[in-house]
Amino acid sequence: MTPSAPDPQPGLLEPGLWAAYRELAAKTVRTDLTHAFHPGQPHFPGFPGEGRETLFGTECGDGFTVHRHTLMGRSGAPMSTRPRTSWPAGAPWT
């Protein structure tokens, strides 16, 4: 989802970058690529499928329902792929 630019206050000049953003955003087409997860959905054959486990349930007398969803996917940031030896000593993420 693309954040919207704040509306300028009446009588104030709008900063140039927000004006450019509004002009470009008005010409774009946004496509929602989200989708629901479900058992049996297509996935890489080397990974297990989607899993769902009920941890607590109203039908068991818990008073609330909690599910654990297990989804396999490739994710991560470039920092996580670097060996620890390349991180500076005392860095906040070590």
Q: What does the pLDDT profile of the chain (94 residues) look like in tens digits? A: 455 655 656 556 667 788 888 889 899 988 887 777 777 778 778 888 888 899 999 988 999 999 998 887 665 445 555 555 566 677 665 4
* Measured distance CA(59)–CA(46) in Å, rounded: 35
Contact 94, 87 (CB under 8 A): yes
State which H helix or E strand residue 66 sits in. Answer: strand 66-70
pTM of the complete model beyond 0.95: no
Q: Which long-range contacts (CB under 8 A, 24 or more apart) does 29-32 make?
A: 30/1, 30/2
